[in-house]
Amino acid sequence: MSKFRKCLAVLLSACMAFSFSAYAVAEDVHPGEGATKIGIILGGNKEDYGFNYGFYKMAEQMEEELGVEAVIKENVPGNSNVEGIMEELISQGCGIIIPTQFGYLEFSKNVAERHPDVAFYSIPLTDYNGGNFSTMHGTIQDIWYLEGILAGLYTETNNIGFIGSLPIPDVIVAINAFTLGVQSVNEEAQINLVFTGSWDDTGLQTTSCNQLINDGADIIAPFQDSTKTIIEICASNGIHAFGCNSDAKELDPETWLSACENTADGWIPYIRDAIDGKYETANVIGSFDVGLEDLASYGDSVPQEIIDQVEAAKQQIIDGELYVFEGPVTAQDGTVKFEEGYRPSFEEINNIDWLVEGVNGSLS
């Protein structure tokens, strides 16, 4: 049977007519077994104090708890060149590969097919799951909703700025969840939204941040890979800011409010099993319920009474009493998107292509 499955795996990986999800490694192959190195591929700089910094800190946690070496490749573009980077990491002994960008997806699949003994853990949602290809996708609506509660309670001007990157599903969901969180505690507050059209353009970040501040915002919430510039501008103007995808409180503890933070807690049990020869294909989707996302540390200026209210809401989400997009949810144009009492599925939430009522700005 094992010889048959090995032949079948080779045939499927070579045959373009079959989907990757049909691919399966042979019974006697255990992806990631005995790995002493983990290869992590980043689209930007690990010191961006945002998405890439978050994975850098996760890598440190993996090294500490798993006793492995994390080999990090920075500033890798999402094109076919990433296949060569992955091959290099594998040749250096990386038995586990973590490609962190959506643009790596097709190329990750190609390399995974060529190396069934290597365990791949992808970030973006995909139907490629199968064999040695797993998905660990952190959902963000719960954490951004909590950030919204914090902002709604903290703001003094009821003018909150949001700097988006690109109008893609994750970003739209974050904006809407944040706004709903604000509205749950402060019906007077408005969210003023601008898009930079980029993940880390410091010039566009500067322009957008100054525009929002000049318009009266006393809090800025960014969905950017890099947040250092935004936090520095906010600090120089005496207003407050959230981070994105990592805990960057050290940049300025007084300016800092909190952030949606990627965590390694949910990854480590799966990677440990792979190293121990007990790999199973994973398709993990969730936030703090599965240890992939959490609320970062609170800034020094956040009062304890606000922290208590945010933590109470977090517990309600964990207990299932609070569901971020439970209806009624209304779009900017007044259309009711989710009726009262309706709890949309993750798939429905991930396909939201509209902004909720209370956001000043557009997706175009």
| pLDDT for 330 beyond 70 | yes
Is residue 1 exposed (0-12), middle (13-18) or buried (19+ Cβ within 10 Å)? exposed
pLDDT attached to residue 2? 35
Rounded to whole angstroms, how far apart are CA atoms 221 and 355? 16
pLDDT digit string, tens, across residues 190-236:
999 999 999 989 999 999 999 999 999 999 999 999 999 999 999 99
Kindly state the average pLDDT of the residues 161-180.
97
Rounded to whole angstroms, how far apart are CA atoms 29 and 313? 45
Kindly state the average pLDDT of the residues 284-290.
94
pLDDT-derived band at 76 (thresholds 50, 70, 90) equals very high
pLDDT digit string, tens, across residues 230-268:
999 999 999 999 999 999 999 999 999 999 999 999 999
**Domain coordinates in residue numbering, the chain:** 2-138+264-293, 141-259+296-360
pLDDT-derived band at 8 (thresholds 50, 70, 90) equals very low
CB within 8 A of 65, min separation 6: which ones?
A: 264, 268
Residue labelled with tokens 């959230």 = 242
Secondary structure, 3-state, the chain: CHHHHHHHHHHHHHCCCCCHHHCCCCCCCCCCCCCCEEEEECCCCCCCCCHHHHHHHHHHHHHHHHCCEEEEECCCCCCCHHHHHHHHHHHCCEEEEEECCHHHHHHHHHHHHHCCCCEEEECCCCCCCECCEEEEEECCHHHHHHHHHHHHHHCCCCEEEEEECCCCHHHHHHHHHHHHHHHHHCCCCEEEEEECCCCCCHHHHHHHHHHHHHCCCCEEEECCCCCHHHHHHHHHCCCEECCCECCCHHHCCCCECCCEEECCCCCHHHHHHHHCCCCCCCEEEECCCCCCEEECCCCCCCCHHHHHHHHHHHHHHHCCCCCCCCCCEEECCCCEEECCCCCCCHHHHHCCCCCECCEECCCC
pLDDT attached to residue 146? 98
**Mean confidence (pLDDT) of the chain:** 92
Which of 3.90.650.10, 3.40.50.2300, 3.30.1280.10, 1.10.3720.10 is the CATH number of 141-259+296-360?
Answer: 3.40.50.2300
pLDDT attached to residue 341? 97
pLDDT-derived band at 124 (thresholds 50, 70, 90) equals confident
CB within 8 A of 94, min separation 6: which ones?
A: 35, 37, 38, 39, 71, 118
CATH number of 2-138+264-293: 3.40.50.2300
pLDDT attached to residue 16? 34
In angstroms, how far is CA 26 from the centroid of its own chain? Answer: 32
Q: How many CB atoms lie within 10 A of CB 299?
A: 21
pLDDT attached to residue 147? 98
Kindly state the average pLDDT of the residues 131-142.
96
pLDDT digit string, tens, across residues 87-98:
999 999 999 999
The answer to whether the 2-138+264-293 and 141-259+296-360 domains have the same CATH topology is yes
Residue labelled with tokens 């994750």 = 170
pLDDT attached to residue 25? 62
Phi, psi at 120, each rounded to 5°: -110, 135
Helix axes 228-236, 202-214, angle to 10 degrees: 30
Phi, psi at 168, each rounded to 5°: -105, 165
